[in-house]
A and B are shown apart, each in its own frame.
Chain A
Amino acid sequence: MDLSPIQNAVASGSYATIADACDELMLQVASRGIAYQEDWPFTVHLLGHIFANDLNSARFLWKSIPQGFKESKPELVAAWRIGQCLWTCDYSGVYDAIRGFEWSPEVAGLVTAFSENYTKKMFQLLSSAYSTIGVADVAHFLGMSEDEATNYALQHGWTLDSSSKMLTVKKPKIITEQKLDPSKLQRLTEYVFHLEH
């Protein structure tokens, strides 16, 4: 079984493409009647879906993995724990799941990249959802200690009221690009023509 498309994706750090590569290859291999399950990189496949935030595919993949594999591969179970926490919106549980396992070199890069992305995404969510938020909660959502979380927030322009331990959010400036290029005029002409006839 030629797993090179998946291995290349992992090695080159194009983590966003892993899930699709795995899916396509799995379907191809299965259609040839090859018994692929024994050697299939389920952990990488699962983490690929988690990285792409496709929790539905992650869940379906987990359901289709034979029970024996789930019992004999602790790394696979650890990867699924991340997915479970994401699915149940256990925001801080995700960090526990990431840090609570010694990842093999094969997937360590993928897990680290996911962790960084996740922290950034959580911070963006907090920026858009909150006007003021407690330091303890920020620490909880970002999986950091209170001091680390405070520094992270201050670096991004938030302000701290040390007496109440409240952070005030600085909303990111939304750049609205409104310049139109001439090719769009062609489109507009087509619309008007269509409407007139």
Chain B
Amino acid sequence: MAPVRMESVQAVVAHIQALSGSHEEVADLHSLLKQSEGALRSRAARLGPFLHQLDPSAHTLGYLFLLEAYSSRPISREQDEKFLPFIAGFINSCSAEQIRLAPEKFISVCKSFKDQVMQLQVPIQGITPLRTAIRKLQTSSEQLTTLHSDYLLLCLLAKFYKAGLSILDDDIFEVDQPRDHFLYCYYGGMINIGLKRFRKALECLHNVVTAPMDALSVIAVEAYKKYILVSLILNGQVPPFPKYTSSTAQRNLKRHTQPYIDLANCYATGTFSELEACIQTNLEKFQSDSNVGLVKQVLSSLYKHNIQRLTQTYLTLSLQDIANAAQLKTPNDAEMHVLQMIQDGEISASINQKDGMASFYEDPEQYKTCGMIGPIDSFIQRLMELSKKLSSLDEQISCDLAHLTRIRKELPRLD
């Protein structure tokens, strides 16, 4: 189709209405629209009424081009409030197929949407629309889009943490932009921390800290601070960097997180009063990093880890001895702590009030029951899936030109 100069927006709209039928028509429309971009942008302020002539579901692609041009200019506050449900409506009704022809434009519209939602301080308004937007943009649930981290940010700001899980619980295998990955995992870590899913939080933060990095990322520094705190809460210690951590991270992260390293060292001594003193010394730093809540949880986890250590040495212990060892004031305090740990599934124990003793025993779960088969089965299935994915990835890399060229260069040296 020969390039045509679009003089009027009305003409563009007429073409959109005419060419939104078959795949070929939409492809033609797409090239037309790309040529009209300049014209649309220059008339951005007047595009509003034209949008009403279009159906967001049938004319998605055309609607998207107009909407993107319209939202690219600054919008007044009164217009904002009407504009937000308008975009939300578009996201709801648009056709995923047509969206994927111009993903950058869709992302641009969603980002304007998110910015306005945040400016008006109504993050909750953006949650359902962004969730729909992600599902329409993704080609599969394994793909990370740039909207993922925006979605999690809104969930955090609106304090609707549970809403983040529907996206967070997807396994991601494809990442287009490394920067998306950093923010996604960092916010994911924060959501998991808020929901007290510390093991999952640790996984997310671990992914930020160990991700390939040429230059030190600020996100990685903040993630490492939380990583230290969550490791202490969960395991009572901070593991060393795994081998696959970038050298940038290994060389630089500790320098920027000294108060947290000090805290971890202090934790290792196991003394409550020393830990409290250490926290007090660095309180300002923790406050400016907004980590005070987590630091308090680190402090209260000390009792837990001290008691857990006891279970490794003793079969029975008096509540008084537990109180002494864990630096609790009274045997009753010890009893309450042990009770809570039993409730949370952190130890297997039995309290004998008559004798004032607690008995520790092994986890009674033998993984032999029908009830256990379900979880074990799904776990093995996931591993098998992962294994297949790794094999196919390995095959892909072995056929990759850059890889083969490199191998060829090495070969003569082997002769």
Contacts and interface: CB of A to CB of B under 8 A. Distances in A.
A178 B369 CA distance: 5
Nearest to A64: B159
Contacts of A57: 161-162
Contacts of B82: 33
Interface stretch (B31-39, B42-50, B350-358): B350-358
B102 interface: no
Contacts of B162: 23, 54, 56-57
B125 A30 contact: yes
A176 B369 contact: yes
B125 A184 contact: no
Contact of B85 (A33, A64, A176, A184): A33
Interface centre among A26, A56, A130, A187 (most CB of B within 10 A): A130
A129 B351 contact: yes
Nearest to B126: A31
Interface stretch (A99-107, A108-116, A131-139, A151-159): A131-139
A173 interface: no
B2 interface: no
A177 B369 CA distance: 5
A89 interface: yes
Given A28-B128, A57-B161, A134 B195 contact: no
Given A56-B194, A166-B354, A31 B129 contact: yes
B124 interface: yes
B84 interface: yes
- Chain B, interface size category, equals 35 or more
A187 B124 contact: no
B128 A31 contact: yes
Chain B contact residues: over half helix, strand or loop, or mixed? Answer: helix
B159 to A, nearest CB: 4
Contacts of A27: 124, 127-128, 160, 163
B301 to A, nearest CB: 15
Contacts of B368: 176, 178
A125 B345 CA distance: 11
Interface string A29-46: 011110000000000000
Interface string B138-161: 000000000000000000001111
B372 to A, nearest CB: 10
Contacts of B351: 129-131, 133
A142 B129 CA distance: 45
B373 interface: yes
Interface stretch (B17-25, B175-183, B335-343): B335-343
B401 interface: no
Contact of B163 (A23, A89, A179, A187): A23
Nearest to B349: A129
26 contacts: A23-B160, A23-B162, A27-B163, A30-B122, A30-B125, A32-B85, A32-B88, A33-B82, A33-B84, A33-B88, A56-B162, A56-B194, A57-B162, A60-B159, A129-B342, A129-B349, A129-B351, A130-B351, A131-B351, A132-B354, A133-B353, A164-B354, A166-B353, A166-B354, A176-B368, A178-B368
Interface of A: 23, 26-28, 30-33, 54, 56-57, 60-61, 63-64, 89, 125, 128-134, 137, 164, 166, 176-180, 184, 187, 190-191, 194
In the A-B complex, list the 5 residue pairs whose CB atoms are closest, starting with the nearest: A33-B85, A60-B159, A132-B354, A31-B128, A177-B370
Interface of B: 81-82, 84-85, 88, 122, 124-129, 158-163, 194-196, 336, 338-340, 342-343, 349-355, 359, 368-371, 373, 377, 380, 384, 387
